[in-house]
Amino acid sequence: MELTSRPQFSKLLNELSIKYPKCYTFAFQKNESIFIGTSPEKLAKFSNGWIEVDALAGSAPRGLTLEEDIKYEQFLLTVKKI
């Protein structure tokens, strides 16, 4: 989709934090690109010149059947996070 004007990122971030108050809202900018979102998991913490990075949970597609969904669920519950 092509935008007709520059988004108001501060407004978008504020709306996300209101809509998802128990999640972490974030924005990363590199050159002209900005990545924004909300996640139930902390991506990183910056404090006193240190960065603490947390591992993210895995994800999987939805199955075409209930059996496939259960297979993906079991995989996510048992796979080792690195």
Compute CA distances 30 → 20, 27, 33, 36, 69, whole Å: 25, 10, 5, 12, 37
Digit-by-digit pLDDT tens for the chain (82 residues) are 787 888 888 899 999 999 999 988 989 889 988 899 888 777 888 889 998 887 666 677 889 999 999 998 888 888 776 5
Joined tokens for residue 41: 């998991």
